Amino acid sequence: MREPDRGPMVVVSYLTLRRTVGFLGISLPIVLFTWGMLREHLWLNTISAYYSLRARDALVGCLCTIGCFLFTYHGHDKHDNVVTQVAGTCAVLVALLPSTHSGVQHALHFLFAATLFVLLAYISYFRFTRRDSRPTEAKLTRNRVYRLCAIVMIVCVGLIPALDLMHLTARLSAIRPDFLLETLALWAFGLSWVVKGGALWADQSSA
């Protein structure tokens, strides 16, 4: 996917922002797990459950930062912009609607979270992989990474309710399956944006 027409310094800043957002996604579950274990001696069942601890500061801050970046992101065309704006809105709503409440708010939290990951997977699989007329070998490698990350996100999001329906979530509670699947999804999201930011498999053409 070619970069919009921007000056060299703007492009560099944009790549840095992409990498920053990617690293936020990768670091979020690590920060929450470490914070919970060191401060509260707790490893909670889901990422969202950390709303109940002081770690919610990191959770809300990270989600709002990612959401604001996605909302203001300018992609290749209007379609990119609409998708990222919806994804950014979902990220902020996930942050503002804790899952610790019951009823409608609980349902909305998970609806927006699932929508966010589906849109992020869509961006990674279909938008990041738009080909130049003569893609480099590095670009082809990046495209494979983008698609793999998208597949991981969708599989993880799908497995969470599937395990619950099969009554496996409770049986596997010792290893916190929901937390692990959400972590893998966040790492896949983060990796795709770090790569898009030119940190890995970069060449002189657009990421």
The span from the CA of 202 to the CA of 168, in Å, is 41
**pLDDT tens digit sequence for 39-80:** 999 999 999 999 999 999 999 999 999 999 999 888 788 999
Number of folded domains that form the chain: 1
The mean per-residue pLDDT over the stretch 117-135 comes to: 92
Tell me whether residue 125 is in a domain. Answer: yes
Give the structural domain span for 106. Answer: 8-196
pLDDT of residue 207: 52
Look at residue 202 and tell me if it is in a domain.
Answer: no
More confidently predicted of 4 and 184 = 184
Q: Is residue 33 part of a domain?
A: yes
Residue 40 within a domain: yes
Q: Does any domain span residue 91?
A: yes
Q: Which two tokens stand for residue 175?
A: 């290893």
Per the domain annotation, does 12 fall within a domain? yes
Query: What is the rounded radius of gyration, in angstroms, for the C-alpha atoms of the chain?
Result: 17
Residue pair 207/195 in contact (Cβ under 8 Å)? The answer is yes
If we measure between CA atoms, which residue out of 132, 150, 128, 148 comes closest to residue 197? 128
58, part of any domain: yes
